Chain A
Amino acid sequence: MKKLFQYLFAPTEENSYRAKVLHNNALSLYLLFAVVLVLVFKVGPLSNILGYATDITVDKLYQLTNEQRVQNNLPLLIYNNQLSRAAEQKARDMFANNYWSHYSPSGSSPWDFISSQGYKYEVAGENLAKNFIFSNNVVDAWMASSSHRENLLRNDFSEVGFARVDGILDGQETTLIVQFFGKPAETKNSLTLPNETEEVVAAATAVGDNTKLSTPQNTITRSKKLIDFSKISFNLTVFLILFISVALISDLYIASKLKLIRIHGKNLAHLIFLITMLTGLYFFLSKGVIL
């Protein structure tokens, strides 16, 4: 086992003083594997599903939101289907009318979407996010913004709904996240938006009861599908990147220790290249915007 490991990852006489997994025939296999991944997940039948590589799910957003409330000794938010449907409607409206705002160009407010689903609220709030890759980054970004944090941790809210919708915004493939908070109406109505409309805004809607509680699993099944496939491609890719990185580092370290002079590509150059590419990935992963 040790011999095999050395043969694969360390420069020895048996592998011509180059880790076997870094030989050109092995590298050609990685390239072939990468081509297959692109063909399967980006060009092939799964491309429609995977057009937007993101791991964000309603379940995870819901779980993370409630984790933040638990940490702050607040009651858990109950998942509400009507709020989720309103959130999805809002996201689709943003794509249809190409805007990124709490208010649509035609003047529709978030509360119009909530009301259109028959949800009668006493208080309501909205958080938006776009282009995040992971659910935890979305919730972290909201928690880092005082106005969004206020919505997440507002004691008045008792229910929440989410939507994650993919589409084209400003000519760019975009993943929009809409989070609606609410408290079923009893007497008065008030609404909150982050940032410029942070203060409670009065709104007029009828009072009534119509909340139907359910778990997130019952809705937005499309998000479920997206995760499974994107997780597979993401995990396979990360595994291969880590595998090659470990091989490069181990080969470089041992060759340097043994003071080997070899005619090969330079591992140090490969590692500089790799680090640059991964930095690019890091920027991409942290590029989300909240509103």
Chain B
Amino acid sequence: MKIKAATFLDYLILSTGAIFIIFFLQLYQGERISSFLILLSFVLFYIIWAFYHHTKDESLHIKTMIEYIFIGFTFLLLLIVIFII
């Protein structure tokens, strides 16, 4: 699995966002509403990142964006079932 140099920065941005989210989740550990809002923010960030990445990659397509939206909200809802609210 090779990542092109052009897309490396994009993955770095996504990973940095992920690290920040993990940091905030740890900071607000045990606070259900805060945890939910942090995870919701990450889902939105993830979708925006996908839009940015695929635009730059010239591979933006409605089906691709729907895939990110489906995955983002599916996992958000599944985690809500397990532990939030």
Contact = CB atoms under 8 A, between A and B. Distances in A.
A283 to B, nearest CB: 5
Contact of B71 (A42, A131, A273, A289): A273
Contacts of A22: 67
Given A30-B70, A269-B53, A263 B64 contact: yes
B27 to A, nearest CB: 10
B71 A27 contact: yes
A133 B82 CA distance: 10
A251 to B, nearest CB: 12
A280 B70 contact: no
Interface stretch (A31-39, A68-76, A87-95, A206-214): A31-39
A281 B82 contact: yes
Nearest to B29: A287
Name, among B29, B35, B49, B53, the residue most crowded by chain A CB atoms within 10 Å (CB to CB).
B29
A272 interface: yes
B55 to A, nearest CB: 13
A53 B83 contact: yes
Contacts of A234: 81-82
A24 B70 contact: yes
A59 to B, nearest CB: 22
B79 A277 contact: yes
Contacts of A244: 71, 74
A31 B72 CA distance: 9
A270 B18 CA distance: 12
Contact of B53 (A24, A266, A283): A266
Nearest to A284: B83
A2 interface: no
A20 to B, nearest CB: 14
Interface residues of B, number: 45
Among the interface residues A42, A268, A276, which one has the most CB atoms of the partner chain B within 10 A?
A276
Given A268-B11, A269-B11, A31 B18 contact: no
A269 B8 CA distance: 11
Nearest to A54: B83
A240 B53 CA distance: 27
A38 B11 CA distance: 31
Interface in B5-38: 11, 14-15, 18, 21-22, 25-26, 29-32, 35, 38
A37 B74 contact: no
Contacts of A238: 82
Interface in B53-78: 53, 59, 61, 63-64, 66-68, 70-78
A265 B1 contact: no
B70 to A, nearest CB: 4
Nearest to A252: B1
Contact of B70 (A28, A37, A268, A287): A28
Interface of B: 1, 3, 11, 14-15, 18, 21-22, 25-26, 29-32, 35, 38-39, 42, 46, 49-50, 53, 59, 61, 63-64, 66-68, 70-85
Interface of A: 22, 24, 27-28, 30-31, 34-35, 37-38, 41-42, 53, 131, 133, 172-173, 233-234, 236-238, 240-241, 244, 252-253, 256, 263-266, 268-270, 272-277, 279-281, 283-285, 287, 289
12 contacts: A31-B73, A31-B77, A34-B74, A38-B77, A38-B80, A42-B80, A237-B78, A263-B61, A268-B1, A276-B42, A277-B42, A280-B38
